[in-house]
């Protein structure tokens, strides 16, 4: 074997030395190495308009107040009537045309094409966000501005792109536009790959893109609160499952405006109690008219809305909706072909994501839970982020009903500490994160919340829920501080919501009095003295924490503790 010459060796060493000089520079500058990121944003009622400043749908208070004042007399008439079929029909005669009129600008024709081409996106920014002034950025900053800002801080404004979505359109057509954006971004940045992230309905578009164009140009796929397996309540509504649930409506309003404000409003007017029974009767008397005269013309021909129907409800939804449509067989066939094409994508999204991962794409999914869903369908007891159910944003985690827990028999390393989520049934169990108590697209760059997303969007290696101790699979969102922290057991926080309060004391006390049987994880959190049994002393100890008294419950004879005991007694009811 020929020995390497001294001269060659010296040259080789010199080359190696020069090469190593660049190593620290390369590692130090992850910013320059990161791929550009394209964020596909979600459904936004107000992204559409006649021009940049004129909304397609009523938005300003005066216009909405005008519509309400148009409807209120009709509602009052109905409230004071004997409420026969004729009364309900008269109400529908008057109100359904108003609904139809207000949504007409964003509706589609029976063949699924837009009814009003003069309506379009109010703004679309095709270049990197760093190229635009703040006032221009504000035009597209509907919900995602803080996430975009956080991303720009991390990798620079010249690498962050944001696609605004015209939600009327067929996702399969929008996928073609994403393809041309990806080509453009690659050319401008001189790179081979782009990180693609999707927020909410953006997940529908991203799925369609991946199915049509594969992952050759993709480094990361990040699904953020995304509807890529549908929305259960849209599926329910399109199969006839409209229902207004009073308790869920109350829960939702409580989360939105707070319990005190709510009882002030409801106590003052009693409006909801009066209207709810009428809504039930209205659906019973005129349900079909609501579909044929309002929902179908407003949304029924819209391929974007249809993309929200989960795969397993799709055939039923067609069977329910198509006979209620005002279309020719030819128009219906054209619409059906469009809807079928996307639903093929949706039915196969598990394989699409798994193939992406196998091809070296970092796939990550983030899902929020423990908030009330809209009380407009027969599935509003599912947990979610107020807009999309957690079962869908997570691609089929097994989730307890809102406010409940899974049976104690559900165990394993993918079960959340609060026993509300079992991630083992997800399409991607090791790449799916859960955030408890965070609302849909409630992004905040004040704390570490957006950093979770930007980490996933910019990582150049495949990461999982085991990669970082500060971002484990289950996280708790603090609605006051906006911070994320690992979800875990905190003694006294019986319901695992991040605060120790009277609700926790009440749960402990009801267990102590054998009025309820708490799940095992909640009994553990309630057992303040660790004696494997929940007694009044545990409930008292929780109250003591709430009252700012440290230490274990002791002399119940003190006046203050005596008062707390009275409070405890009251809580039993």
Q: How far is the CB of 234 from Ca ion (least distance, A)?
A: 32
Q: How far is the CB of 501 from Ca ion (least distance, A)?
A: 6
Closer residue to Ca ion in complex, CB, 177/524 = 524
Let me know how long the chain is.
573
Binding site residues, Ca ion, CB under 5 A:
493, 495, 497, 499, 504, 527, 529, 531, 538
Nearest Cα residue to 377 out of 295, 261, 497 = 295
Place of tokens 């690498």: 159
Place of tokens 């869908």: 392
Q: How far is the CB of 438 from Ca ion (least distance, A)?
A: 16
Closer residue to Ca ion in complex, CB, 254/464 = 254
Closer residue to Ca ion in complex, CB, 168/523 = 523
Indicate the burial class of 346 (C-beta count within 10 angstroms; 0-12, 13-18, 19 or more).
buried
Nearest Cα residue to 225 out of 373, 348, 21, 365 = 365
Q: How far apart are CA 29 and CA 159, in angstroms?
A: 14
Q: In what order do the strands lie in the sheet with 48-51?
A: 54-55, 48-51, 120-121
Q: How far apart are CA 146 and CA 273, in angstroms?
A: 38
Place of tokens 């659906």: 283
On whether the CB atoms of residues 163 and 39 are closer than 8 A, the answer is yes
Q: How far is the CB of 114 from Ca ion (least distance, A)?
A: 48
On whether the CB atoms of residues 156 and 189 are closer than 8 A, the answer is no
Q: How far is the CB of 419 from Ca ion (least distance, A)?
A: 14
Closer residue to Ca ion in complex, CB, 111/524 = 524
Closer residue to Ca ion in complex, CB, 245/504 = 504
Q: How far is the CB of 259 from Ca ion (least distance, A)?
A: 15
Beta strands in 388-483 (DSSP E): 398-399, 421-422, 432-436, 474-477
The token duo for 349 is 């999204």
Which is it for strands 194-199 and 160-163: parallel, antiparallel or unpaired? unpaired
Q: How far is the CB of 495 from Ca ion (least distance, A)?
A: 5
Indicate the burial class of 104 (C-beta count within 10 angstroms; 0-12, 13-18, 19 or more).
middle
Closer residue to Ca ion in complex, CB, 169/476 = 476
Q: How far is the CB of 506 from Ca ion (least distance, A)?
A: 10
Q: Give how far the C-alpha of residue 333 lies from the chain's centroid of Cα atoms, to the nearest Å.
A: 32
Closer residue to Ca ion in complex, CB, 337/489 = 489
Q: How far is the CB of 97 from Ca ion (least distance, A)?
A: 48
Place of tokens 């809580």: 571
Please, which residues have CB within 8 angstroms of residue 143's CB and are 6 or more apart in sequence?
41, 42, 44, 199, 441, 443
Please, which residues have CB within 8 angstroms of residue 283's CB and are 6 or more apart in sequence?
242, 243, 244, 290
Closer residue to Ca ion in complex, CB, 201/545 = 545
Closer residue to Ca ion in complex, CB, 272/549 = 549
Closer residue to Ca ion in complex, CB, 326/516 = 516
Q: How far is the CB of 472 from Ca ion (least distance, A)?
A: 20
């Amino acid at each position: 074997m020929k020995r390497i010459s001294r001269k060659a060796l010296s040259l080789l060493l010199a080359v190696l030395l020069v090469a190593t000089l660049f190593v620290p520079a390369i590692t130090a500058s992850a910013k320059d190495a990161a791929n550009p990121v394209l964020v596909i944003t979600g459904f936004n009622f107000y992204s559409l308009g006649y021009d940049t400043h004129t909304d397609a749908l009523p938005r300003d208070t005066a216009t909405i107040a005008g519509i309400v004042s148009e409807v209120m007399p009709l509602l009052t008439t109905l409230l004071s009537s004997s409420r026969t079929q004729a009364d309900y029909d008269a109400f529908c005669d008057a109100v359904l045309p108003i609904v139809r009129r207000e949504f007409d600008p964003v509706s589609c024709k029976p063949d699924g094409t837009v009814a009003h081409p003069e309506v379009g996106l109010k703004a679309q920014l095709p270049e990197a966000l760093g190229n635009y002034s703040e006032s221009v950025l504000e035009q597209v900053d509907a919900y995602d501005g803080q996430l975009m800002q956080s991303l720009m801080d991390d990798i620079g404004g010249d690498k962050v792109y944001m696609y605004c979505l015209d939600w009327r359109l067929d996702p399969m057509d929008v996928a073609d536009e994403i393809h041309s954006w990806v080509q453009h971004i690659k050319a401008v940045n001189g790179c081979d790959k782009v990180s693609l992230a999707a927020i909410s309905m953006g997940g529908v578009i991203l799925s369609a893109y991946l199915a049509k164009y594969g992952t050759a140009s993709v480094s990361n796929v990040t699904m953020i609160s995304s509807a890529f397996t549908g929305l259960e309540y849209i599926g329910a509504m399109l199969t006839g499952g409209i229902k207004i649930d009073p308790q869920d409506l109350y829960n939702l309003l409580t989360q939105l405006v707070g319990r005190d404000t709510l009882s002030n409003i409801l106590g003052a007017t009693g409006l909801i109690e009066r209207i709810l029974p009428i809504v039930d009767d209205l659906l019973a008397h005129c349900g079909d008219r609501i579909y044929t005269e309002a929902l179908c013309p407003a949304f029924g021909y819209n391929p974007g809305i249809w993309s929200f129907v989960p795969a397993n409800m799709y055939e039923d939804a067609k069977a329910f909706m198509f006979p209620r449509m005002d279309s020719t067989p030819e128009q219906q066939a054209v619409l059906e072909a469009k809807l079928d094409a996307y639903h093929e994508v949706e039915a196969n999204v598990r394989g699409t994501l798994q193939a992406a991962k196998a091809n070296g794409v970092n796939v990550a999914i983030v899902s929020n839970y423990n908030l009330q869903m809209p009380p407009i369908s027969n599935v509003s007891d599912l947990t979610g982020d107020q807009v999309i159910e957690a079962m869908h944003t997570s691609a089929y985690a097994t989730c307890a009903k809102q406010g409940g827990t899974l049976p104690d028999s559900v165990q394993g390393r993918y079960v959340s500490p609060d026993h509300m989520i079992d991630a083992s049934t997800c399409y991607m169990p090791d790449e799916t994160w859960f955030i408890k108590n965070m609302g849909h697209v409630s992004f905040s760059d004040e704390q570490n919340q957006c950093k979770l997303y930007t980490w996933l969007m910019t990582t150049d290696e495949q990461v999982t829920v085991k990669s970082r101790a500060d971002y484990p699979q289950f996280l708790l969102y603090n609605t006051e501080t906006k911070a994320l922290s690992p979800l875990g057991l905190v003694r006294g926080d019986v319901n695992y919501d991040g605060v120790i309060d009277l609700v926790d004391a009440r749960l402990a006390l009801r267990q102590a009095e054998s009025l309820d049987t708490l799940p095992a994880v909640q009994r553990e959190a309630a057992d303040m003295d660790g004696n494997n049994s929940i007694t009044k002393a545990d409930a008292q100890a929780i109250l003591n924490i709430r009252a700012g008294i440290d230490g274990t419950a002791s002399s119940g004879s003190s006046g203050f503790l005596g008062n707390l005991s009275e409070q405890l007694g009251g809580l039993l009811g």
